[in-house]
Structure 1
Amino acid sequence: MDFATAWDADLRSFADELCRFETTAGNEAPAQEWLHERLAEWGFETYRWEADAETLAAHPSFPSDPAEIETADRPSVAGVLEFGDPDAGRTLVLNGHVDVVPAGSGWEGDPFEPRRADGRLTARGAADMKCGLAACLFAARQLEDVDPNVDGRIVVESVAGEEEGGIGAAAAARSNPYPFSRDAAIVGEPTDRRPVVATEGSLMKRLRLAGRSAHAATRWRGESVLPAFERVRQALEELEAERAELVSHPLYEAFPIPWPICIGRLEAGRWASSVADELTAEIRVGVAPGETVDVVEREVDRRITEAVAETDVDCECERFSIQFEPAEIEPDEPVVRAVQSAMTARGHERTDPRGVTYGADSRHYVAAGIPTVLFGPGSVEQAHFPEETIAWDDVLEAGETLATAAEAYLAN
């Protein structure tokens, strides 16, 4: 019996119910407790952990002030299945995050009431990444159902706070919540069912410019921050173009802008009839695999300082929010080969590894010495998008491929 025949109805019900939970930042607990109960009901050995803010504050991804890291009542949960002699074989983690970004506007219905039409599921989190998490869980159940003649363990993780830097995954990577080691991981992010072995990092900077106010009728007496900001914008645009030429990586050649610099938020001035004497901009800078956030930050700071040096505007530029270090593993890692062999067995033609311009929880596991590949249903183009949707056949196919890959990994 194939995966779709065996699990379609149960997987549909599970995914729909999971999508009904409004698991925005800090609100993951009800869904996690529900999922913990399902894992126990289905015979998994269960685990639960919460991150420690002081520990995360020492992590380069997070703010240095523990008070800025919200960890209370944000559990991560996991279920473990063991096969044969588990200590004689490998341990594979199938990871997904339960948190979602706020729904925002542009929805035709309730974002947290799943809708199905034309073979697609629409809901906040459908693609990013509750269906990927569901596929991981049911892949493990499929593997248990066939009772493979292998030794090892499958761990299914549902972590909290991925959208805020990977709170649950960072805690699991730094302080192993299990009484056994982990050999590899697959994160079920929406990769269009392609294996991803490189994720881009990102630097988050907040720029503040201060000039001098004056009445609009005598604006020549003031010092507007807008010309200085335009100099900064042009400097960052030039830096982005230079980095696209100078910083190369074979997995990123297809991207028109491999290391994007995005000014995502801008606020300036106080009143229409006053010279704009203050400006705040929030900037996201892509960091290539093989680079570090620190090195890229120094160049960004230098360009900004030079841009405003010949103006009378004061400038401050500091980190804020979460920093994502890039991550990469070798394409011939056993876990990557297992995914590729499963894809081949399922008739997939495009099994070559890819790089992506976003970050993921995989970086925490890679930093801990756990080779991790991304593979899951859906497209990142639907992530954080109104009317977020996923093709249900992709979810079923991903579940089958994950189960085949897990069996292949444990068998070697």
Structure 2
Amino acid sequence: MDFDMRAFAADLCRHRSTAGEEAAAAAFVAERLADLGFETYAWDADPAVLADHPSFPDDLDAAAVEGRRSVAGVLELGDATDATDAGDGDDSVPTLVLNGHLDVVPAEPAEWSSDPFEPVWGDGAARDAPPGRDGETLTARGAADMKSGLAACVGAAVDVREGVADGSVDLPPSGLRLVVEAVAGEEDGGYGAATAALASPFPFERDAAIVAEPTELRPVVACEGSLMARLEIDGRSAHAATRWRGEDVLPGFEAVREAFADLEAERAESVSHPLYESFPVPWPVVCGRVEAGSWASTVPATLDAEFRIGVAPGETVAEVEAAFRERLDRVATDDPWLREHPPRFERFSVQFEPAEIAVDEPVVEAVRAGLAATGHPDVEPRGATYGADSRHFVAAGIPAVLFGPGTIDEAHYPDETIAWEEVVAARDAVAAAAERFATDYAA
């Protein structure tokens, strides 16, 4: 069966696969993979497994992971697999995972020029296209992050299979196993990828992975981690007309926020990494939510704020948490009220550990070779200030590189758009990378 990548990407973007609502999109992908001749697998996020994972809360239950289904399709290619089914567990066949996530962040329709979940094809220059490059674009929630990248993975796997069939792709005797994964819950921690890393749904080992995040067709070998922490400050309420009788929480919060900003600047100088030298703020600290007080005419006596704090490759979330907790303690010690009423600073939600692989890992070299084979200039691998599911592969001993079409600048953005020619280019480059990976594995 021919693979219509345009139709696949558009149909997938029509699914409102926000957190906890991935099941319908997973069923769609599984059906399409089966129609294309893949052997399919499916798994659900497992709270018992994830409770032992350092990224996830210990109190996960079945309700927290309901509907978080992931799926995969497997192709066994080459002479060594002619008499082999994907389920036989043969680990002599090199196995490359092509991974994409199904979930998307919510969209605010009022901020969009069209329905976020009704794909729109355009013919102008995409926001992520280099100057002077015009062509077809796709606009929808998930177009860039990262349903088009997942479509490119499916297309690449189909192309390698067709190349083997018609003789244009010459695999070594060891053959090649391609696994296309469509996983749930990447945006809020990687529920699907983490479950598969800790309790593999496959009867074979995985040797490497390409995660098709929007990287502008450049390999990314290092991802930043993040600490998610909630700050709580107590004050004392009073009538606004006699505010001197109360203790306003806002000055204390501003002191903490300023101290955290100072520590962010200090860390930018003291924590160095060669792949992050070009970023103006390599390890960002953002207070993304603040709630204080209860009434306009009452001195605010409670404050609840949530921070996202960057963690550099080579650090741990625990180490960074300790540094910010120590800085918070300094602020409290210097303030008479906070000294007697210490602020609380605790983790919440999912934590992202950083991840990194060597620039000369075979899967990275395969991606670079795939780019060269399809007419793209060689580009140096780089780092990213965001987290991704690659960290779950790396933690499981599976080297993973990010590589895909589009730009992170479009992710989570109104009128999210991708230049379609980049999706086509990613499909070609990933197919060429898979062929190179099989060759290098056999060498």
Q: Place the TM-score, normalised by the shorter chain, in its bin.
A: over 0.9
Q: CA deviation at 1:346?
A: 1.9
Aligned length: 406
Gapped runs of 5+ residues in structure 2?
Answer: 82-89, 124-135
Q: CA deviation at 1:72?
A: 2.0
1:264 aligns with 2:268: no
1:143 aligns with 2:160: yes
Q: Distance in 1 between matches of 2:240 and 2:230?
A: 27
Equivalences for 1:59-208 in 2 at 5 Å? 59-67=53-61, 70-84=64-78, 85-86=80-81, 87=90, 88-104=92-108, 105-118=110-123, 119-147=136-164, 148-150=169-171, 151-208=175-232
Q: Distance in 2 between matches of 1:167 and 1:91?
A: 22
Match in the other structure for 2:19? 25
Counterparts in 2 of 1:156 and 1:64: CA distance versus 1, 3 Å: same
Q: Is the 8 A contact 1:231 1:308 kept in 2?
A: no
Equivalent position to 1:246, from 270, 277, 299: 270
Q: Is the 8 A contact 1:193 1:378 kept in 2?
A: yes
Equivalent position to 2:337, from 312, 315, 325: 312
Equivalent position to 2:297, from 238, 256, 273: 273
Q: Distance in 1 between matches of 2:420 and 2:414?
A: 18
Match in the other structure for 1:15? 9
SS in 2 for 1:197: strand
Q: Distance in 2 between matches of 1:253 and 1:407?
A: 33
Moved more, 81-90 or 21-30: 81-90
Q: Distance in 1 between matches of 2:314 and 2:248?
A: 39
SS in 2 for 1:274: coil
Q: CA deviation at 1:348?
A: 1.9
Q: Is the 8 A contact 1:94 1:187 kept in 2?
A: yes
1:161-219 Cα deviation digits (max 9, x unpaired)? 11110000001111111111000000000000000000000000000000000001110
Q: Distance in 1 between matches of 2:23 and 2:416?
A: 23
Q: Distance in 1 between matches of 2:229 and 2:20?
A: 24
Match in the other structure for 1:382? 410
1:143 aligned partner, one-letter code: V
RMSD over aligned CA atoms reads 1.4
1:253-275 Cα deviation digits (max 9, x unpaired)? 00000000001111111111111
Q: CA deviation at 1:89?
A: 2.9
Gapped runs of 5+ residues in structure 1?
Answer: 1-5
SS in 2 for 1:264: strand
Match in the other structure for 1:359? 387
2:356 aligned partner, one-letter code: E
Q: Is the 8 A contact 1:62 1:69 kept in 2?
A: no
Q: CA deviation at 1:396?
A: 0.3
2:116 aligned partner, one-letter code: P
Q: CA deviation at 1:350?
A: 4.3
Q: CA deviation at 1:344?
A: 1.3
1:152 aligned partner, one-letter code: L
Q: CA deviation at 1:353?
A: 0.4
Q: CA deviation at 1:127?
A: 0.3
Match in the other structure for 2:132? none
Q: Distance in 1 between matches of 2:158 and 2:25?
A: 20
Q: Is the 8 A contact 1:29 1:75 kept in 2?
A: yes
Q: Distance in 2 between matches of 1:57 and 1:68?
A: 11
Q: Distance in 2 between matches of 1:398 and 1:66?
A: 37
Q: Distance in 2 between matches of 1:120 and 1:373?
A: 25
Q: Is the 8 A contact 1:162 1:169 kept in 2?
A: yes
Q: CA deviation at 1:69?
A: 7.2
Match in the other structure for 1:3? none
Q: CA deviation at 1:73?
A: 2.5
1:295 aligns with 2:323: no
2:38 aligned partner, one-letter code: F
Q: Distance in 2 between matches of 1:238 and 1:68?
A: 41
2:107 aligned partner, one-letter code: A
Equivalent position to 2:366, from 338, 343, 354: 338
Q: Distance in 2 between matches of 1:179 and 1:411?
A: 23
Match in the other structure for 1:404? 432
Q: CA deviation at 1:305?
A: 1.8
SS in 1 for 2:187: helix
Q: CA deviation at 1:341?
A: 0.7
Q: Is the 8 A contact 1:228 1:311 kept in 2?
A: no
SS in 2 for 1:162: coil
1:369 aligns with 2:390: no
SS in 1 for 2:111: coil
Q: Is the 8 A contact 1:57 1:69 kept in 2?
A: no
1:296-351 Cα deviation digits (max 9, x unpaired)? 00011111121122231431110001100000000000000000011112222242
Moved more, 147-156 or 130-139: 147-156
Q: Is the 8 A contact 1:63 1:69 kept in 2?
A: no
Q: CA deviation at 1:292?
A: 0.3
Q: Distance in 1 between matches of 2:406 and 2:64?
A: 29
Identity across the alignment (%)? 59
Q: Is the 8 A contact 2:49 2:199 kept in 1?
A: no
